[in-house]
Structure 1
């Protein structure tokens, strides 16, 4: 017997305030999840001192992104099938467990495992998009998607700032203690506001468990191959074997999903031109511009004797980046408004152009905190506008019963490309270093390494503009409310 779609909540739906209350609940849930995205960035130098393994510590970023991709891929579709609110609460609870693991981690491996489980928060935004489409009136949806995307930016900024303050004044473990409490609070709010039963449509036939299982090792294998290529060499047989094996697993997964009657991750959604191009735009954004936090954090905290760094604290690095996240919170609703006025194509071109312009400016000059602050704001405005624009294009192009899945697929691709981008940027920064003494430790990236990393990021931005220009002019045109 098919389950009924979410049609009731614990708040009176007939009230004129219901859409705003529903949006507030979704914002609070996403805020608790997005905190975890960037809280660890400011702590990287501290964690490198405690765990002197640069490649291992880099997996505190990559492991979270891989977990985010896996959970977004599987759980967004489960939300469409079994109820988005129910899966939302489960994801936040898993995130809390991951935070607890990380807070009391005795080893780096245990800490990485906790961060990977924290990646369950990556499924929260696509689930919130699905709940927004379900509970909010159609005219309100573009702005609501923008608000939720802006919340992701604000939460990331608060996480970065809180993490920096905690690292400078108390133990880094308290970062994870705070995220534990926030995840529990987000789960409680969602559980109180939205119905947890009688939601979703039960899948036809067996649940596609194998499709979810095959996806994860393929992605992890590619990232491990990229990491090991730096350690062993690109042409080393071990690197090549791992990369080929990972691609083989992903090819097997794609073939299996294409032949499955009810795939857990329906890659056939990418056959829709608008969904494919919108995902391409945001994937390039994730690969390039979203690595700005790594660049800014390292530049601000790197010693001045390197002739590149600014020699400031982790808190100073966070204060440089936080205004960008805060302004980005406004940029996302503006991106949603722009989409509703000029369509997804025009909004995407403008957003990607602003983002890429900021990257090129940062490449030209990154010599002071004021410059990093100004150009960081420009880049984040472009990213936040693009977040809302792409979200609207995908939500409106997808079938209603697969909204969260389509948004989840977008989150998967974003997380994968952000993870690959972080590895590329970190490895690029490590490719040309300077130390106080030849062969000494620690070694820091030199000016050439930073320039090369920023060139790679800007090139990805140019690719995003090209893909945005290929979108149809009518992409994300507002739809009338259903009768």
Structure 2
């Protein structure tokens, strides 16, 4: 099937009437979801008092969102390929709204955790949005549009922190969640009004056993990583969780290779372009989140330490906010390089910029403007990389598997951020300086974390070097649905439905 026919069928026989509106709405939805992830950061220290619970229990307001997102992202992506990406996008946004309302009405820890878990189920919005773009937009619009959608993850996170800090400082903390619900309702209405449903479907049967196995393995792994610092890395609970994760995920992999319609097509995932993009995504997720852990602490530590700047959470948010704007500004430049040189070059460029940003941070960390500069440099590099990743994935998988493949790539980034949090926590807990009766992370501890962040970016660069050199992404994406991806290998079995016909 030619590209023109494929896109005509995907759009229901006619081009979408307002492609600019489709891109804007999907990017807005992505920003709303990423805002949710930073929503509680300004009130985390106050949650034990606000919810009348212990700090260990209120920490689950962060962990529950992480675990729910890890489980939901690949499952929602596969369901989107099967039953409609726009349909699953609407369900995801509805979960965000419902979770926000539950949290807004809560005054105790259990409903707050439940609300945050429901919010986490919306994490699949960004990969679903990218997949919708592939199905309904003209090929020449894909690179820029998917780069913008991918960057919305960082944009929302960066803009969310100062906004949440302002609301928390000036209003009752419940307003944070009412605001999230309101933004979610706006996104839901806009998607219903302006975003068409893609008719590209895989059909088939949902792999429930595969979903349960993946959920069990991921929850065990991420729970061990996120709670290792609190429970002890050598404790029976953490070691047991790691053991369960390994055993379950290995068994899950064998099962997925043998079932006819797997949740994740591991043969497609093993293709060189998909595999190395996902591995680079883990490294980039690690590298990006390392900055998010270091800069706020440097800004907030007392000036008496000699390296802390003694600033408020509001100032932290304002320092990090330009990073999100830089990421958005990099989207068209990332797309231009991807079109002319291919997404591999774009990804490698982003890795070099991120590594340089961390190197800069090691020598520039004594003034507020230093940290603004560093966050913008790193944000620019992340913007390049995150714009290239969807193009690499979509250039190597069939159109009928786009949502599942993009969702898995998003999950890889999340795994990277989880490991970054764990590693940085261990380093900063071990490298401390005593100030009176308090032990605080030392200046050298922060520099070590920065060096590790630079190393993760260089690892992403090395992994990207193994990606196959290809023609520009717009052409690769345009033909992937016809060729079944670029590399050889088995695809998912079962018919692909387009506008009710089978091809």
Q: Same fold (TM over 0.5)?
A: yes
Indicate the residue corresponding to 2:323 in structure 1: 324
Residues 55, 295 of structure 1: CA spacing in aligned structure 2 closer, same or farther, 3 A cutoff?
Answer: farther
Please give the residue correspondences for 1:196-215 in structure 2 after superposition, counting only pairs within 5 Å: 199-201=199-201, 203-204=203-204, 206-215=205-214
The whole-number CA distance in structure 1 between the counterparts of 2:79 and 2:68 is: 16
Question: Offset of 1:230 from its aligned partner?
Answer: 2.9
The change in CA–CA distance for 1:56 and 1:413 in structure 2 (over 3 A counts) is farther
Distance 2:279 2:370 in 1: 30
Deviation at 1:151, TM superposition (A): 2.9
Return the alpha-carbon distance in structure 1 between the equivalents of residues 294 and 48 of structure 2: 16
Shift of 1:233: 3.8
Alpha-carbon contact 1:284-1:417 (below 8 Å) kept? yes
What corresponds to 1:336 in structure 2?
335
SS at match of 2:307: coil
Counterpart of 1:189?
A: 190
SS of the counterpart of 1:444?
strand
**Hey, what does 1:24 align to over in structure 2?**
24
Report 1:381-420 matches (<5 A): 381-420=380-419
Alignment of 1:218-297 (within 5 A): 218-297=217-296
Q: Is the 8 A contact 2:233 2:239 kept in 1?
A: yes
Q: Which residue of 2 aligns with 1:89?
A: 90
- Secondary structure of the residue that 1:479 maps to in structure 2? helix
In the TM superposition, residue 98 of structure 1 has moved relative to its aligned partner by: 1.5
1:467 aligned to 458, 463, 466, which one?
463
In the alignment, the residues of structure 1 paired with residue 327 and residue 16 of structure 2 have an alpha-carbon distance, to the nearest angstrom, of 33
Match of 1:98 in 2: 99
Instruction: Name which of structure 1's ranges 448-457 and 280-289 shifts more when overlaid on structure 2.
Output: 448-457
In structure 2, how many angstroms separate the alpha carbons of the residues matched to 1:149 and 1:202?
A: 24
TM-score for the superposition, normalised by structure 1: 0.90
- Aligned ranges 1:149-188 → 2 under 5 Å: 149-188=150-189
Residue 455 in structure 1 maps to residue 451 in structure 2: yes
- Assess, with a 3 A threshold, how the Cα gap between structure 1 residues 371 and 5 changes in structure 2: closer, same or farther: same
In the alignment, the residues of structure 2 paired with residue 380 and residue 423 of structure 1 have an alpha-carbon distance, to the nearest angstrom, of 21
Q: 1:231 to 1:310 in 2, by over 3 A?
A: same
Compute the RMSD of aligned alpha carbons.
2.6
- 5+ residue gaps in structure 2? 1-7, 483-503
2:15 is aligned to 13
Tell me how far 1:50 sits from its aligned partner. Answer: 5.2
Change (3 A) 1:42 1:21: same
* Alpha-carbon distance in structure 2 between the residues aligned to 1:29 and 1:376: 24
Q: Is the 8 A contact 2:229 2:425 kept in 1?
A: no
Distance 1:454 1:111, change over 3 A: farther
1:20-51 CA deviation, whole Å, 9 max, x = no partner? 22222222322322221323334444447757
* 458-467 vs 18-27, which moves further: 18-27
In structure 2, what is the Cα distance between the partners aligned to 1:389 and 1:380? 14
Name the SS for the 2:156 alignment partner.
Answer: helix
Which deviates the most, 143-152 or 271-280? 143-152
User: Bigger CA drift: 280-289 or 417-426?
Assistant: 417-426
Contact 1:41 1:293 in 2 (8 A): no
Query: Quick one: distance in 1 between partners of 2:117 and 2:200?
Result: 27
Question: How far, CA to CA, are the matches of 1:370 and 1:56 in structure 2?
Answer: 36
Whole-angstrom CA distance in 2 between matches of 1:333 and 1:54:
43
60-69 vs 307-316, which deviates more? 60-69
Inter-partner Cα distance in structure 1 for 2:10 and 2:208: 24
- What is the distance in 1 between the residues matched to 2:148 and 2:380? 13
Q: Bigger CA drift: 35-44 or 242-251?
A: 35-44
Equivalence for 2:128: 127
Q: 1:55 deviation in Å?
A: 5.3
TM-score (norm 2): 0.86
Q: Secondary structure at the match of 1:105?
A: coil
Q: Is 1:63 paired with 2:64? A: yes
